[in-house]
Amino acid sequence: MFQEENSSPGFHITKRSLITVLACVAVSMLLMRTGFLTVFFLVPLGFAVFSCGSYMFTFASAAAVNLIIYIISAAVVSGNDLNFLNMLIDISYLTALMFLFTWVTGGRNIRTAYRIILASSISTIFFIIMINRLDSLFYTYSMEVAQELMPGIVTAEMIEFARNVLLRGGALISMFFVFFINRQIASSIFWLVKKQRKDRGLIAFYAPDNTIWVFSGSLATVILANIFGIEFLEIIAWNIFVICVIIFMAQGIGILSHLLSGKSSVFRICSVVFFVILLFSPLIVIAVAAVLVLGIIEIWRPFRRNVDHL
């Protein structure tokens, strides 16, 4: 997933590419408004980028259709019920997500891993602005959803705790996995349909040399900011710390992928099944910590001596 893809330098709109993009945009808009499946609304856009080779054309089409839908929705809502500020923030947030994701999928010059991290960081800023600017809406919506899932259990204090977690890296992790999972699914569907691979995985992914110092410095800053009660600095340090954790976990997964690459197909399949089972068990916390530590250890003890840096 993190290998840079080869995009065609000259993109020309053809009838086939136009139909593909518009069909994918239509599916994306439908998923965006279907409750639980909303989290996968970027998958069709990723498939469109892989198919037509242009992330700007895909983004422009999706943004235009989304804007038209909002305008039509505004036209049928009475003036008293319509909040133009909320609608403007929703449009800005979704437009930013669509642009960042299509850029992650089809951009060049910056490695995909760092595009995902950069896109996650930018979208997190939008998300944080949104939940702070629309504080009452955030609490109201969160309480409604929580009460439906766990009636009589969720309190306002629990919602505030969740909000603090989001500000301190939770939102960044969420956005990272939204981009990561949607791109992976789009890549897999493209391979099934076109029989073409866009990725080689994380085998040759290496963390930048100075990441360990940023990791250590951000952790120390979190502790000091907490002691002296500097909340703004603590929030920034937490998010930098989470970015470093993601980078080292990617390196750890690269090591595991390298070790598994020399094994038989049966062994690799069994490993994938084991990972899926582990994913839904309490041991996932230990597994994540182990992958993180493995990625950090490679700074001093290389596990992939015969793999070139990408």
Of 16-25, 182-191, 215-224, 263-272, where does the model show the most confidence?
215-224
Interval 138-190: pLDDT, tens:
556 566 666 666 666 767 677 778 888 888 999 999 899 899 889 988 988 88
User: How confident is the model at residue 93, as a pLDDT?
Assistant: 87
pLDDT category of residue 104 using cuts at 50, 70 and 90: very high
Distance CA 4, CA 89 (A): 33
Overall fold of domain 1-200: Arp2/3 complex 21 kDa subunit ARPC3 (1.10.1760)
Three-state SS annotation for the chain: CCCCCCCCCCCCCCHHHHHHHHHHHHHHHHHHCCHHHHHHCCHHHHHHHHHHCCHHHHHHHHHHHHHHHHHHHHHHCCCCCCCHHHHHHHHHHHHHHHHHHHHHHHCCCCCHHHHHHHHHHHHHHHHHHHHHHCHHHHHHHHHHHHHHHCCCCCCHHHHHHHHHHHHHHHHHHHHHHHHHHHHHHHHHHHHHHHCCCCCCCCCCCCCCCCHHHHHHHHHHHHHHHHHHCCHHHHHHHHHHHHHHHHHHHHHHHHHHHHHHHCCCHHHHHHHHHHHHHHHCCCCHHHHHHHHHHHHHHCCCCCCCCCCCCC
Distances 208 to 235, 251, 305, 309, 310 between C-alpha atoms, Å: 23, 10, 16, 10, 11
User: How confident is the model at residue 4, as a pLDDT?
Assistant: 41
Distance CA 212, CA 296 (A): 8
pLDDT category of residue 256 using cuts at 50, 70 and 90: confident
How much is the CA Rg of the chain, to the nearest whole Å? 21
User: How confident is the model at residue 235, as a pLDDT?
Assistant: 93
Where in the chain are the domains? 1-200, 202-310
pTM to 2 decimal places: 0.80
- Which distant-in-sequence residues (6+ apart) come within 8 Å of 261 by Cβ? 203
Residue whose C-alpha is closest to residue 92's, from 80, 104, 102, 100: 100
| Mean pLDDT value of segment 297-303 | 88
| Mean pLDDT value of segment 292-306 | 86
Sequence letter at residue 278? L
**Res. 6: pLDDT tops 50:** no
